Chains A and B, each alone.
Chain A
Amino acid sequence: MAHVEGQQHPISVYLKIWGLLFVLSAMSYAVDYYHVESYLRWTLILLFMALKAGLIIAVFMHMMWERLALVYAIVLPPVFVGVFIIIMSLEADNTLFSRMTFFNIGT
């Protein structure tokens, strides 16, 4: 018989997280449904997104039970994506500024 070693946790944990993900999805949909606008909208969307992503990674993908050597090897590299986002949003602002300055003359 094959020896089994892996992530085993009570099913009730998964069911609770599943329910929580449903609630969070419903809430992010409600943001759109009730036309919440501007900064409140973006804050809420990002908040629900981060919570959902965190729950999926931590519980469904068992990251909270793994050894730190693996956790940091996988979770830290995406920090570079954050740096890239900052660089590209500066670049996009610059492009928009150039387009408005040089393409819209006379309009």
Chain B
Amino acid sequence: MAEQTLTDTAGSVSQPEGWDGIVADWSSDQRAFKNVPWGKAMMWIFLLSDTFIFSIFLLSYMTVRMSTTVPWPNPSEVFALSFGGEPIPLILIAIMTFVLISSSGTMVLAVNYGYRLDRKKTVFWLLLTALGGLTFVGMQAFEWSKLIHEGVRPWGNPMGAAQFGSSFFMITGFHGFHVSVGVLFLLLVARKVWRGDYEHQRKGFFTSRKGSYEIVETMGLYWHFVDLVWVFIFALFYLW
């Protein structure tokens, strides 16, 4: 319980705000991030490192697209899909965007009900979030197979610049992998909430530490980050 006591102490003592607060927090003993459980601070630092990874992918995509002398394929046409009639531009990508944003919304609700100690609703929203993630990955798999069928390869494609394929598979592949891992962890957290691990102070099988509903929020941070990365991919790769 040492950790809980620490959190309480940090919360009850009045802390300076603004620049004074930054100086006080960073120059204090023990911990710079007050009022934040260590797991959440570590998740933020991991997400920062992940930000750099995705930034470098998008940067290299920008560099090859700007420097190629061959015309870039028009994403609006490449990702168009027809439901019997005229092809609708980018429709699948738009649906994927809405699905991912919706799953971000359900995740927020899961975090909220977790703090209200409403186990059933937390599990429900967590599972709905995982379902959204699975739907997204499924549509991405469909998109990949469609493009591969049309002859898009990492080393070339029939529509234009060869770098299109390598950028596409690298960026969306890495993002899809993040979504898949997220779904896995969502299911694990949902199982723990369902069993009541965070209320019975059951120890985790891997860390053998007691969890709390803050873990749901930390899980939420990761999930929103996946959504955040998609915002950038959608704008810079699909719409540009």
> Which residue numbers of A lie inside 8 Å of B, CB to CB?
1-9, 11, 14-15, 18, 21-22, 25, 28-29, 31-33, 41-42, 45-46, 48-49, 52-53, 56-57, 60-62, 66-70, 72-74, 77-78, 81, 84-85, 88-89, 91-93, 95-96, 99-100, 103-104
- The total of Cβ contacts below 8 Å across the A-B interface reads 177
Going nearest first, the 10 A-B pairs with the smallest beta carbon separation are A69-B25, A92-B66, A49-B235, A95-B67, A18-B105, A92-B67, A81-B55, A14-B108, A92-B63, A96-B67
**Contact yes or no, B26 A68, CB < 8 A:** no
Q: Is the interface of B mostly helix, strand, loop or mixed?
A: helix
Contacts of B7 in A (CB 8 A): 3, 5
Interface pairs (24), CB distance under 8 Å: A2-B4, A2-B210, A4-B214, A5-B7, A6-B115, A7-B111, A14-B109, A18-B108, A25-B101, A28-B239, A29-B90, A33-B89, A45-B239, A49-B232, A57-B228, A67-B15, A67-B25, A68-B22, A70-B44, A78-B48, A88-B62, A95-B63, A96-B68, A99-B67
Contacts of A104 in B (CB 8 A): 69
**Contact yes or no, A11 B112, CB < 8 A:** yes
Instruction: Check if B36 is an interface residue, CB within 8 A of chain A.
Output: yes
Known: A67-B21, A69-B32. A60 touches B98 (CB 8 A): no
> Which residue numbers of B lie inside 8 Å of A, CB to CB?
4, 7-8, 11, 15, 17-19, 21-22, 25-26, 32-37, 41, 44-45, 47-48, 51-52, 55, 59, 62-64, 66-69, 76, 89-90, 94, 97-98, 101-102, 104-105, 107-109, 111-112, 115-117, 198-199, 201, 210, 212-214, 217, 220-221, 224-225, 227-228, 231-232, 234-236, 238-240
**Contact yes or no, B76 A72, CB < 8 A:** no
A70 to B: closest C-beta gap in Å: 5
Contacts of B37 in A (CB 8 A): 6
Contacts of A67 in B (CB 8 A): 15, 21, 25, 33-36
A32 to B: closest C-beta gap in Å: 5
Q: With A and B bound together, what is the CA distance between A2 and B107 in angstroms?
A: 22
Q: With A and B bound together, what is the CA distance between A21 and B227 in angstroms?
A: 11
**Contact yes or no, B217 A22, CB < 8 A:** no
Nearest to A72 among chain B residues (CB) is B22
**Contact yes or no, B115 A4, CB < 8 A:** yes
Q: Is the interface of A mostly helix, strand, loop or mixed?
A: helix
**Contact yes or no, B224 A60, CB < 8 A:** yes
| Selected contact of A8 from candidates B68, B94, B115, CB within 8 Å | B115
Contacts of A88 in B (CB 8 A): 59, 62-63
Q: With A and B bound together, what is the CA distance between A52 and B231 in angstroms?
A: 7
**Contact yes or no, A89 B62, CB < 8 A:** yes
**Contact yes or no, A91 B63, CB < 8 A:** yes
Known: A56-B227, A67-B21, A70-B41. A4 touches B239 (CB 8 A): no
Known: A32-B89, A96-B69. A56 touches B224 (CB 8 A): yes
